[in-house]
Chains A and B, each alone.
Chain A
Amino acid sequence: MDMSRAPDLAARPASPPVLLVGNPNVGKSVIFGALTRTYVTVANYPGTTVEIIRGRALSLPGAPEVVDAPGTNSLTPQSDDERVARDLLLAEPDAVVLQIGDTKNLRRVLYLTAQLAELGRRQLLVLNLQDEARDLGVRVEASELERRLGVPVIPATATRNAGLDAIPRRLSQAAVAQLECSYPAVVERAVLDVAGLLPAELGAARRGLALMLLSGDRTLGEWAREALPEGGVGLVERRQAELKRALGIGAATAIARARHRAVAELLRQVFHVQKARGGTLRDRLGELSMHPIWGVPVLAAVLFLAYEFVGVFGAGTLVRLVEDGLFGKVINPAATALANKLVPWAWLRDLFVGPYGVVTMALTYAIAIVLPVVGTFFILFGVLEDSGYLPRLAVMVNRIFRGMGLNGKAVLPMILGLGCDTMATLTTRILPTRKERVLVTLLLALGVPCSAQLGVVLAMLGSMAPAGTLIWGGVVAGTLFGVGWAAARLMPGKGSDFLLEVPPVRVPSLSNILVKTVARTEWYLKEALPLFVLGTLLLFVLDVSGMLPRLEALAAPLVVGLLGLPAQATDAFLVGFLRRDYGAAGFFVLRRGGQLDGVQSVVALSVITLFVPCIANLFVMIKERGFKTAMAMVAFIVPFAFAVGALLNWVLRALRVHL
């Protein structure tokens, strides 16, 4: 992907490039934006899907090229992103490193500084997020840190453009940080041996590279085979084994411990935290909602509120008002009268006001049935966001995910999927490996209901015994866990940690929630309404051409035979391919018309929840994961959804369950 808008970017400037390096989520991109304004190019790093952003920093002396490296916690990579950040450093030996750090997490910042120093890299250190550090009572003595490290230390709050003006002034003072780690003597001897084998042109970087090799960095394997003379790789392996024997622990652990000791010593001199006073009721509630045991009743209470507010109030009271009142008594009769008066052809009248009419079906479903339900759900979602519960739910789910063996970072797309699966699929880019991105895309498409669908599902569940909710929830959660667990076993490996700063618990602001609800409702109408109309037109054409009864007959062995649903449910499944919530709305209408009993409702909802969310989501799946992978997922999901529904129908009938 190349989004170049600056014609002169191809020519490399005379000044050495500036490489932005730092831990993830510390505001590097904001600083990159401030330095480069809008003149950027975005391209995948060779051989990876990791995007690298480059730009020209016109505000810096010599207008050097600026490269925004992916966030990394260590130069011993654990993910594709971290490997690319390390490779960029090695590929640009003359670049000045602009290290961006989160002031609150100085320990992580300095660990990276120690590794940069070992590579002999000239650097500046920007301590960003000063405002948040102050709010938390964190104080860093920047001048003392600068004196001890011997590199410019620049306190900043990039989002407010505070402190960034010091970067151009101090760029020429970049130096190698004096943060020496005391490694055991045996490690130092091994470092000397290995560094001595590395090419002399690597200069000061040889010490850092020797430490990386002794740490057993496998991502350097190919490079090491080329850089080391014959027998060099064998010598590294022998030294590793000797260190393990001498120290009783692996070389990587010994090296990391020495770095942590050096960082801790420096922290004692420059990092101070003012202890907060005793927690308030809100703080205690926040803690409870993340607790592995007490968090569960809190979650149950939230779900109960959702059920009452969306399922009972939204789907009952509001839908009755809008569907029976506004549409049933005003809009649909007026549209029918108008069509009868103005349109002489019966088929054209039917296109607007017939059983598959744009007004009587598409608009009625989208505005009279789904909108009141998703509107109430959006209000609830806004309250969850604004109160700070959503990030706490993410922390809870993270614990469950870790139990499944999944990467903690997968939590965010899964939580986001409850809002919109399409957005969530885009967010899978944050996952470090392709395998994880594929797995989470699959889980999202398979079993995470989006806000619109969840609203309609809650609406239907609100009309039956609570056991119906438990069965539907059990089927969907069980499927997610089962597929997730199996997939995690198929792709073993160490998952990376999920780092999310949890904001304080807040009393939601009414105006905030209203604005968010308006934004989401507008977004829903823009995205859903055209697809509702398209789905209705599809059904209309199938009906007029006489294909619909034939399709229903064709699908009868599956829909009627295996799933135990009425033949009309085929219509809902057909539009369900466009949007799951449209399909669910079809079942909602059948349920209200008395054509679905409790068991049939739960079976239908389970199948439609396990469908691919919508056609927009399918397009994003193709864009993000490629055509073949996306099609393979669809080929798995659709038969799997029907198979689960058939099994559920068989079990519930066999157990003579009544809902």
Chain B
Amino acid sequence: MREVECPLCGKRFPGQEACVVGCPFAGSCQTLCCPHCHYRFVEESKLTRWVGRLLRAERA
């Protein structure tokens, strides 16, 4: 289960279980909602996961 960290309260939660709602003008642009503090933020996309992997590889 993929865990994500809330950018506001810093708590971790399983990404799949958070409330996910998309903007009506960008169906594929989803946002996640932290179940602890209700902060909403943009869900990771393929591109951001790729950038993340690239940065981790660079650091290693």
Contact = CB atoms under 8 A, between A and B. Distances in A.
Contacts, number: 118
Q: Is the interface of B mostly helix, strand, loop or mixed?
A: mixed
A412 B25 CA distance: 23
Contacts of B14: 30, 33, 159
Interface string A382-401: 00011010110010000000
B40 A388 contact: no
Contacts of B48: 515, 518-519, 522
Which of B25, B38, B39, B43 is the most central at the interface, judged by chain A CB atoms within 10 Å of its CB? B25
Given A386-B7, A422-B23, A511 B56 contact: yes
Nearest to B9: A501
Interface in B5-58: 7-14, 17, 21, 23-26, 28-29, 31, 33, 35-45, 47-48, 51-52, 55-56
B13 A527 contact: no
A620 B42 CA distance: 17
A501 B37 contact: yes
Given A159-B14, A426-B21, A500 B45 contact: no
A225 B43 CA distance: 49
B59 A511 contact: yes
A424 B38 contact: no
Given A416-B39, A523-B29, A515 B7 contact: no
Contacts of A616: 23-26
Nearest to A531: B25
Contacts of A29: 17, 35
A130 to B, nearest CB: 13
Contacts of B51: 514-515, 518
B7 to A, nearest CB: 4
Contacts of B45: 519, 522
Contacts of B17: 29-30, 33
Contact of A500 (B9, B13, B41, B59): B9
Nearest to B21: A426
A423 B31 contact: yes
A423 B40 contact: yes
B25 A527 contact: yes
B25 A30 contact: no
B37 A500 contact: yes
Interface of B: 1, 3, 7-14, 17, 21, 23-26, 28-29, 31, 33, 35-45, 47-48, 51-52, 55-56, 59
Closest 10 CB pairs of A and B: A503-B10, A385-B7, A511-B55, A33-B17, A526-B26, A616-B25, A423-B40, A519-B48, A527-B26, A25-B36
